[in-house]
Amino acid sequence: MPLGGLWIAHHYFNVFRFDNSAIGERIYNQGIDSSGKPLQGQTEGDIEFKDAHFNCAQCHRRSGYGSSEGGNYVLPVTGASLFNPRRFDRADLFKKLFKESQSKLFWARMRSSYQRPAYTDESLALAIREGIDPSGRKLSSLMPRYKINDRDMAGLTAYLKNLSSHNDSGVDENTIYFATVVSKNANADNKNAMLSTIEKFVEWLNLETKGNLDHPNFSPSYRSDFAKAFRIWNHEVWELSDNPAEWPKELAAHYQKKPVFALIGGMAEGNWAPIHEFCEKNSVPCLFPLTQLPPVEQPGHYSIYFNQGLLLEAKVIAKYLLKEKKPDRAAPIAVFHADDAEGSKPARVLIQALNADKTLAVESIPVKDMESFRLEWARYVESHPRIGKVVVWPGKLGSAILSELAARAQTIEQIFLPSELLQADLTSVSKELAPKLYFSYPYELPTAYHPRAFRVRAWMNTRRLPISNARVQFNTYYALNLLQYGLEHVVDHFSRDYLLEYIEHEAENALNPGTFPRLSLGPEQRFASKGAYLVQLDASGTQPVKPVSSWIVP
């Protein structure tokens, strides 16, 4: 090669040096090396593996801040923790030491005075390949010893040096920024109930934060350690238009104007998918939006939901029908559904589940409006001598469908409906129709007792916050409280992934205000409530509904 060519090649390589951290990212999060093969090595001394599930994030988590489980403490592997001498921070360790049930061995290890020097590229390679840290000490046998070549090791090292090396967008020295997404066509009363709860919570929390900032040494041995974590919450409402096709552009404009650390709650008419996609694209946590149509089919890391909405209810009804089935080809299960997303999507999930049993006959009947429903119903009755079970997904037809069903009650054995129709005016439901109505019910039963519900209600009353929609407001309060709890333990490591990991860990803590029987998450789980009841209207009048099934988890 001519000298000029050598100079150009050398200059280009040094100025535009290849960034191999992409290789490291894939190794860390997916367990796939540069050749496309799963990681291989040994664990527990002599157990050979060749499996992508042995990726680093499985234990050290996506944020790199580690975890603790079953008496085992998985150390952080962020850039700052690896490439600096080890030091212990009381604020970082507070939760693990005092808010988790751990073994004596765990306590002893956490209080150990053992230190180590900073890792170098060479000592990190030795630790990953042979399990020896920079001080010459052997790492736990739980830590795999990987067979990793020099190129992959260089990529992993480059990735770890930058892992959680700075705070994510949406936070500065004094303030952390949040937003709530709402659409103009969302139910006005529900929207106001949600936003007023957020407003009161932020106002209350900021007063408490200002008090802590003004008196940082009130408790020198404890509170002062957390002073670095205190931030004032700044909350905005991002209102979207009535046209979902415009939402991606509108969300991008809001985020460009002022990036936020996370989205709290949210409410939009119809499919939540455009907002979900925005959050995944921009790595913005979206915490417990109030939507009936979360995008269950789409992969997601940053969006956490209460449940699968109408799709969960469809699966629960299907499981109930399959268990109670009485095959009758003369009276198939008729599934009437509006032709919009809230009608067609749950209908499709229900029919797919029912079709798994070849002995059942199922008919899908889409309708455009009430006149279409009447016409299709007449055709169905004419072609079937007996009508057994009917499932209706009203979608845009809403509660108006009830009056139509009432006029046809004498011809039906059972009618299955989504829980949203329980919010309609049911006083006009006739005594003939009521025993035939079955509702999916993904909430806690009215007879259940949750101590937390009384505390939340008292909190709202003392702040003169009218409880206009208890379910919306209690769920919003849960999301806010869990966010506050997570941020307390993130301390000053404002990593969105780290926040999500704490939320996964703490979702089933004693924060449930009682709208769901149980709320829990695990690593990468994104739906906190997993089941529903089947209920009927309570004829005695002592409660609005009574269960006709146990809690069904499809």
- DSSP letter string over 241-306? -S-GGGHHHHHHHHHHHS--SEEE--B-SS--HHHHHHHHHHT--EE----S---TTS--SSEEBS
Phi, psi of 449 (to 5 degrees): -115, 125
What would you report as the CA-atom Rg of the chain, rounded to the nearest whole angstrom? Answer: 28
Distance CA 313, CA 345 (A): 11
> Three-state secondary structure along 61-111?
CCCCCCEEECCEEECCCCHHHHCCCCCCCHHHHHHHHHCCCCCHHHHHHHC
In this prediction, residue 16 carries a pLDDT of 40
Taking phi over 0 as left and psi of -120 to 50 as alpha, with beta for the rest, 165 belongs to alpha
- β-pairing, 389-393 vs 333-338, is parallel
Nearest to 434 by CA among 312, 313, 538: 538
User: Do 521 and 304 meet the contact criterion of CB atoms below 8 Å apart?
Assistant: yes
Sheet bearing 333-338, strands edge to edge: 362-367, 333-338, 389-393, 414-417, 437-441, 533-537, 545-547
Residue 258: CA atoms inside 13 Å, Cβ hemisphere, count?
15
So what's the pLDDT on residue 150?
95
pLDDT at position 395 is: 94
Q: Taking the model in full, what pTM does it have?
A: 0.89
Predicted pLDDT at 417: 97
Rounded to an integer, what distance in angstroms lies between the CA atom of residue 477 and that of residue 473?
6
- Averaged in consecutive runs of 10 residues, what is the pLDDT profile of the chain (554 residues)? 45 48 93 94 90 93 85 86 82 62 66 80 96 91 93 95 94 97 95 98 95 71 69 97 96 97 95 96 98 92 97 97 73 92 96 90 94 92 84 93 80 90 84 91 94 94 95 97 91 94 88 94 94 93 90 96
| CB burial string 93-102: b at 16+ within 10 A, e below | ebbbeeeeeb
196: its two tokens:
């007023």
**Residue whose structure tokens are 């988590």:** 61
Q: Which fold has domain 175-309+464-502?
A: Rossmann fold (3.40.50)
Distance CA 550, CA 441 (A): 11
Q: What are phi and psi of 390, to 5 degrees?
A: -125, 130
Query: What is the reported pLDDT for 136?
Result: 92
Residue 410 identity (one-letter amino acid): Q
pLDDT value at residue 199: 98
What is the rounded distance in angstroms from the CA atom of residue 321 to the CA atom of residue 323?
A: 5
Main-chain dihedrals φ then ψ at residue 381, nearest 5 degrees: -60, -40
**Superfamily of domain 319-441+535-547 in the CATH hierarchy:** Response regulator (3.40.50.2300)
Q: Which helix (H) or strand (E) holds 183?
A: strand 175-183
Q: Quick check: do 175-309+464-502 and 319-441+535-547 share a fold?
A: yes
For the chain, which residues make up each domain, given as ranges? Answer: 16-162, 175-309+464-502, 319-441+535-547
Question: Does residue 486 contact residue 499 with C-beta atoms inside 8 Å?
Answer: yes
Extract the tokens encoding 241. 């238009």
CB atoms within 10 A of CB 8: 12
Q: How far is CA 355 from CA 186, 199, 358, 359, 364, in A?
A: 34, 47, 6, 9, 11
Calculated CA dihedral for residues 117, 119, 125, 131, nearest 10 degrees: 40
Tokens of 128: 């990953």
The dihedrals phi and psi of 85, each to the nearest 5 degrees, come to: -60, 145
Query: Residue 254's pLDDT is what?
Result: 98
What are the phi and psi torsion angles at 15 (to 5°)?
-80, -40
Cα 123 from Cα 153, distance rounded (Å) = 11
Sign of CA dihedral 217, 218, 220, 222: negative
